[in-house]
């Protein structure tokens, strides 16, 4: 039982740096996009998601394997957070189902990220 717990902690520590780098890339892209879109209701604000989408595409065609396993959950969190902020800010009297739906999507994507962060083990996977 102790061995299983240590493996989980080892996976969590190995995935932490990848998560930090992905979130820093997103933060930097948000900072750059903020020069062009000063308001959250501007559709240009979604351009901050593009670098993570490119990383995910490169991961899928096996050109960038270091982020393997964490790009999709981070991309889901980022897109759902952008949608939640965009819907809440763009339409002050949005329907409750739209706000509830984006809130549920944000919570589910955060749960997906936490499960993937604690259980994904990229050490034993080989790219063929």
In a domain, residue 125? The reply is no
Contact, 94 vs 87, CB < 8 A? yes
Is residue 124 domain-resident? no
Angle at the Cα of 76 from the Cα atoms of 64 and 102, rounded to 5 degrees: 165
Chain centre distance of CA 91: 24
pLDDT of the chain along its 128 residues, tens only?
A: 455 555 555 455 667 888 889 999 999 998 999 888 877 777 788 888 999 999 999 999 988 888 888 899 999 999 999 888 888 877 667 688 888 898 999 999 999 999 888 887 765 555 44
Residue written as tokens 């351009």? 47
**Residue 34 included in any domain:** yes
Count of the separate structural domains present in the chain: 1
Res 10: pLDDT: 47
Domain that holds residue 102: 2-119
**Would residue 128 count as lying in a domain?**
no
CB count, 10 Å around CB of 46? 15
Q: Is residue 126 part of a domain?
A: no
Q: Would you say residue 85 lies in a domain?
A: yes
Asked whether residue 91 is assigned to any structural domain, the reply reads: yes
Q: State residue 128's pLDDT score.
A: 44
Please report the pLDDT score of residue 38 as a whole number: 77
Residue 107 lies in a domain: yes
At residue 51, the pLDDT reads: 93
């Amino acid at each position: 039982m102790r061995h299983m717990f240590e493996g989980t902690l080892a996976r969590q520590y190995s995935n932490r740096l990848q998560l930090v780098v992905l979130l820093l890339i997103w933060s930097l892209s948000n900072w750059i996009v903020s020069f062009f879109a000063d308001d959250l209701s501007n559709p240009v604000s979604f351009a901050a998601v593009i670098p993570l989408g490119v990383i995910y595409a490169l991961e899928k065609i096996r050109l960038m394997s270091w982020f393997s396993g964490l790009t999709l959950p981070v991309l889901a969190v980022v897109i759902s957070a952008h949608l939640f902020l965009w819907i809440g800010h763009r339409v002050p009297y949005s329907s409750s189902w739209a706000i509830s739906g984006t809130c549920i999507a944000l919570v589910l994507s955060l749960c997906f990220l936490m499960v993937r962060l604690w259980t994904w083990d990229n050490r034993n996977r080989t790219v063929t």
